[in-house]
């Protein structure tokens, strides 16, 4: 069960607003040069979507205010991560003005409940009786989380916003990978893509700024962002073109998600895959989402593996045997004393206490589980059956949970047999390994087409078995079409 931890101190690992704004503007600048638009028609159409989105969010039609949520996926939540810092982008007729970054505790005290419009999930009730911006990242669907954040932001600041953009620290890691290490002389630290999380996080929690009572977002993180911005500004348009690929990669990996209250704009956002909405499908569907409720930074060190065995019966019904193996790959690391709580020793990387959610097709039926059906919560959300359980793992150990459930889909055995599985990645989530096996009831069919390369095809007796192994770092569709022999 979740432990109460109401005094979290100064915000953790904010992603820098100016950087995100600059990347987006740099990408648009490369479009406006026109060199990309000389490419093939489809590519031109795809790029024109970004151009449309830019024009709208840059306020060419009407003035816009865009809220930036900086979600720390080292302390991952169902919808991306703990919201430690927020920013605001005001735009009008192409002029983009980013306001100063604000630590979440400067506006979001979390005292009392403003209303009963939004309720916290059960696993967060130990932290507080109601949600706020910092803990608004709890739905599998980013549009739902964004609406909640917009609501609370207006309640706290009296400023309504049109759009919401959420980033994770993976954006900074990607920039450091592209731009190279940054030496912060005042802090005697050289920040690289490999040490960013540990070194900067430890400085945020225990370093000079916190000892002096300063906000680390304007200290070490401010200095880091200023240097990255300076390097970006030194790039010419040709060099900045490469950032378009980076931007789309971060979108595909759900490290950047965007929401607009304007339905037409939201349609454009969906068309580039940046909306973070829960996908609807009539076929097999699966999403797994971790929520770290320990308030430490263990999430990047939890390596999940999902084994999904699907069995199709002669009547077209289908069951899934699912195994989730979660390994804590780190030991206890980086002990520190919080200057605000000097009597308590803490670990930056320690025990994992998480709530694991799994979204399945709406009418799926849970049949059994290794931890007992009674220890798995079940509710309907976003036209899905959502299962959930608590996971507790000490460093360098692992847990395994198995489930069996029945799919609502009835497959038709005709001249062709199509079996599709949609695997959706968690917003801001970490990649995990997937092992999928499909077993047909007899050997009367052979694989005719597939959008992936099966690693193994074999016929054992009368059972046709096909297996596929891959890594889930973006949404995956597994499509297999069989034909009668």
pTM: 0.87
Q: Which residue has the tokens 């009296």?
A: 158
Task: Give pLDDT, residue 355.
Answer: 97
From CA 236, how far away is CA 230, in angstroms rounded?
12
Task: Give pLDDT, residue 237.
Answer: 56
Positive or negative: CA dihedral 186, 187, 190, 194:
negative
The 10 Å Cβ neighbour count of residue 379 is 12
Q: At the topology level of CATH, where does 284-484 sit?
A: Immunoglobulin-like (2.60.40)
Length of the chain: 485
From CA 473, how far away is CA 428, in angstroms rounded?
10
From CA 220, how far away is CA 217, in angstroms rounded?
7
Query: Could you give the residue ranges of the DSSP H alpha helices within 286-396?
Result: none
Q: At the topology level of CATH, where does 17-271 sit?
A: Aminopeptidase (3.40.630)
478, containing H or E segment: strand 476-484
3-class secondary structure per residue, 61-106: CCCEEEEEEEEEHHHCCCCCCEEEEEEEEEEECCEEEECCCEEHHH
Half-sphere exposure of 90 toward its Cβ, with a 13 Å CA cutoff? 6
Task: Give pLDDT, residue 206.
Answer: 61
From CA 437, how far away is CA 302, in angstroms rounded?
24
Domain ranges of the chain: 17-271, 284-484
CA–CA distance from 395 to each of 74, 197, 326, 356 (Å)? 15, 18, 11, 18
257 closest CA partner among 16, 67, 89 = 67
- The three-class DSSP label of residue 380 is strand
From CA 43, how far away is CA 55, in angstroms rounded?
19
Task: Give pLDDT, residue 474.
Answer: 96
From CA 276, how far away is CA 80, in angstroms rounded?
10
From CA 250, how far away is CA 248, in angstroms rounded?
5
From CA 342, how far away is CA 9, in angstroms rounded?
13
> Which pLDDT tens digits describe the chain residue by residue (485 residues)?
433 333 333 333 333 333 444 444 433 433 333 333 334 344 555 567 777 777 788 788 899 999 988 888 999 999 999 887 788 888 888 777 777 667 777 787 665 565 667 888 888 877 666 778 888 899 999 999 999 999 999 988 999 999 998 988 888 888 889 889 988 887 788 989 888 877 777 766 665 555 555 555 445 665 676 677 677 667 665 666 667 778 788 899 999 999 999 999 999 889 889 999 999 998 899 999 999 998 788 999 999 999 999 999 999 999 999 999 999 999 998 887 776 677 778 888 999 999 999 999 999 999 999 999 999 999 999 999 999 999 999 999 999 999 999 999 999 999 999 999 999 999 999 999 999 999 998 778 888 889 887 766 665 544 588 899 999 999 999 999 999 88
From CA 12, how far away is CA 103, in angstroms rounded?
9
165 closest CA partner among 185, 148, 144, 142 = 142
From CA 51, how far away is CA 452, in angstroms rounded?
32
- The three-class DSSP label of residue 54 is helix
CA–CA distance from 44 to each of 51, 124, 372 (Å)? 10, 45, 53
**Contact by Cβ (8 Å): 73, 169:** yes
**Contact by Cβ (8 Å): 320, 309:** yes
**Contact by Cβ (8 Å): 305, 18:** no
Angle at 428 between CA 146 and CA 127, to 5 degrees: 65
41-78: b (≥16 Cβ within 10 Å) or e: eeeeeebeebbebbebbbbeeeebbbbbbbbbbbbbbb
From CA 257, how far away is CA 295, in angstroms rounded?
23
């Amino acid at each position: 069960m979740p432990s109460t931890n109401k005094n979290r101190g100064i915000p953790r690992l904010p992603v820098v607003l100016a950087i995100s704004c600059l990347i987006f503007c740099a990408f648009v600048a490369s479009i406006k040069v026109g060199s990309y638009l000389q490419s093939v028609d489809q590519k031109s159409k795809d790029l024109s979507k970004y151009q449309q989105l830019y024009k709208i969010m840059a306020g060419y039609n009407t003035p816009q205010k865009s809220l930036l949520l900086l979600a720390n996926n080292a302390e991952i939540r169902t919808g991306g991560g703990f919201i430690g810092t927020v920013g605001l982008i005001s735009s009008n007729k192409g002029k983009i003005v980013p306001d100063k970054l604000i630590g979440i505790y400067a506006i979001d005290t979390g005292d009392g409940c403003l209303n009963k419009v939004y309720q916290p999930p059960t696993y967060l009730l130990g932290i507080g009786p109601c949600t706020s911006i910092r803990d608004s990242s709890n739905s599998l669907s980013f549009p739902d989380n964004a609406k909640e954040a917009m609501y609370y932001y207006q309640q706290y600041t009296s400023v309504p916003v049109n759009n919401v953009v959420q980033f994770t620290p993976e954006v900074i890691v990607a920039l450091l990978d592209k731009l190279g290490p940054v030496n912060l002389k005042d802090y005697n630290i050289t920040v690289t893509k490999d040490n960013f999380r540990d070194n900067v996080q430890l400085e945020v929690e225990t370093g000079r700024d916190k000892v002096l009572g300063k906000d680390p977002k304007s200290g070490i993180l401010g200095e880091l962002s200023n240097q990255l911005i300076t390097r970006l500004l030194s790039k010419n348009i040709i060099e900045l073109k490469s950032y378009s690929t980076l931007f789309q990669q971060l979108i595909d990996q759900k490290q950047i998600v965007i929401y607009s209250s304007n339905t037409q704009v939201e349609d454009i956002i969906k068309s580039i895959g940046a909306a973070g909405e829960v996908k609807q499908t009539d076929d097999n569907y699966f999403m797994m989402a971790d929520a770290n409720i320990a308030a430490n930074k263990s999430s990047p060190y939890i390596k999940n593996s999902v084994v999904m065995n699907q069995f199709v019966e002669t009547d077209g019904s289908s069951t899934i045997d699912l195994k989730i193996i979660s390994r804590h790959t780190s030991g206890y690391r980086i002990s520190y004393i919080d200057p605000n709580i000097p009597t308590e020793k803490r670990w930056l990387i320690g025990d994992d206490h998480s709530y694991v959610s799994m979204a399945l097709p709406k009418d799926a039926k849970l049949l059994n589980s290794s931890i007992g059906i009674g220890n798995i919560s079940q509710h309907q959300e976003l036209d899905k059956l959502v299962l959930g359980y608590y996971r507790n793992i000490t460093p360098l150990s692992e847990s395994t949970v198995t489930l069996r459930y029945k799919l609502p889909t009835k497959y038709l055995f005709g001249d062709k047999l199509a079996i599709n599985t949609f695997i959706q990645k968690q917003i801001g989530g970490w990649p995990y390994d997937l092992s999928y096996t499909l077993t047909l009831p007899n050997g009367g069919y052979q694989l005719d087409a597939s959008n992936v390369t099966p690693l193994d095809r074999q016929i054992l007796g009368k059972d046709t078995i096909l297996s596929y192994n891959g890594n889930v770092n973006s949404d995956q569709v597994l499509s297999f079409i069989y034909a009668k022999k």
